[in-house]
Structure 1
């Protein structure tokens, strides 16, 4: 049943970005950017739906769970398309970069915090019952609203059900009803045993919900909740994340780094990525302000330093303006994990390949311990290899950050 909450976590992330971001940080979007955002959400929808269908076929996801997750995916996709029409740019309001960073970090940390509790609670029977009830008079599967109504009725009749309240809380957050989310999280804490390992995690998520319900502003009540959470678990991700966000907004970048580094100790996946992104931004702010910058080994990710050169024997056969493509691929694979475009006149050059050069979020250099690296001079200017191009290849290169530079010589003719 863990797959249910993996899905809920992903949906929470999508919904928070779609619904909460406009409330806090309307930004001008050009038509091309709006179209790209819609396409990205469509791609996410298709990918997640395929994963859910696969889980259902494998028997790891019940039909009832599949139904509500599919409804949520469709709902979020429709909301995004309706709210961001391609032919109409979004509204702009004055919100600074610190707030944008803050909301991004908070949205990304919510799913990671949510997963731990369900590992402990382990069921969502009431929702399954609700989804299996046919809609009155139609015989069809109920809508999300009908299922939630049934769940609320179950909780009214049998309130001593922390997993049911937890599901209700996350769904309210998912649909932008943050005040109701706060109330539901409070019910979780009432009925969840205080000695449960995930109790502190729920406390942190309650603080997050309070922050959202307060329009992304810190106040005394939220800080009190954070303090209580950290008194129980000093490295709780959500609480530390909120403290870091507040410090960042106050331009106390050193304090933000301190909080986010502590949060990173227990974080993984998307939460860890968002925290590293915040650390990098805080570090950049310190550098820009000329302030001391702490050593941040946490930012060391996968990377390859390449020293690319052209064989002297081929120098007379190339034009300085011709394009040089530099790729890193999985060994035996075709989809590039990192790609860079240069010109012959730039050779020899030293360049670092890392996750910022990924072609897609799912295909990153850090996903592999070793990769195949190549550099090719394209006579046509296109990335696809053609006969007559010049190329150099290394079959197995470590992606460990900090490794010694690797020499790559373009010395072969593509046949």
Structure 2
């Protein structure tokens, strides 16, 4: 290390002491209490809802704003404690001197242990070993830990319908539908008559029941429409429920009401219009192949009831002979697309029986987990296939995986090969 380096270190540490020591020589000031993140969430949500009511926000922008707000609060949420009372006892001179000596010594010791002193010697290999991973990138495990933190907070303070709704949406994003249904039940019990909670709850219950809206899910949808007759997601689901039981006239009627709430000429409006015409015409046999209701986590902007035109990728998945013998009975095959920019949040995901390989697949917005993470918002994606012995969506050693990409959204006849065992 050079003399210039140590001179710079001494200057910086000396400057730091000018900020550290004076406060220690003064009596401390009592701290102010910290407001709850959930209180801030409620205030900001009320402002967003007000902008929607005033027409300043479209339904799609309103939903997007809510999603972004919820993501921030999930990140920030945690136990907020009131600051302990502070005694106005002056710091002793001995303590201040100890701090003045220990801070520089401690900083240098920590730097020598976890820092990169080799970089000062021009050791490029040490720098390269750190990798180029973005410090802001969140892994799936970190995101799941954030969700679990919110769940634990709600167990301690359960009287929070907004918190339960946020937790339910988070569970949906990780495809944990039974847990999402339980969270929606609590949110609905604490905020009865909320059309968004009712519609989301109905959608998740349908997913848990094999995509069937009959019974309790349809009752929740009709309850939501009593609270808000123009609620887009509820209108889409009501039409789907009527279509599934063969009442095509009623399905067309619900979808006409939905169409009236959508911007003329939009992709959603075109899709709904096509569904109406098919339901009125031949009985809608071709509609059954594509869901008329939005994906489970979809918000008002996605209630066009089907994937955006052309926003899909299609192909086949096969397994290499070298790893074919590693498939255990009952294994699950996951096929998903994620952004080509490196984000690991799936844009669309399929779950298949691994025993049926090779299989054909089509990924589109109907398989999205959140309104802000879907294929139609991207031009290029990475395709991943993975065989899980346990059926767990989180990769584990022993899983078999394969990837392809980047590929253009809209690509067809893609060939994805499972050829690697996760270590």
Greater fraction helix: 1
Whether these two folds match at TM > 0.5 is no
Tell which structure's C-alpha radius of gyration is larger. Answer: 2
Q: Please report the TM-score for the alignment, with normalisation by the length of structure 2.
A: 0.38
Instruction: Select the structure with the greater relative contact order (CA < 8 A; seq sep ≥ 6).
Output: 1
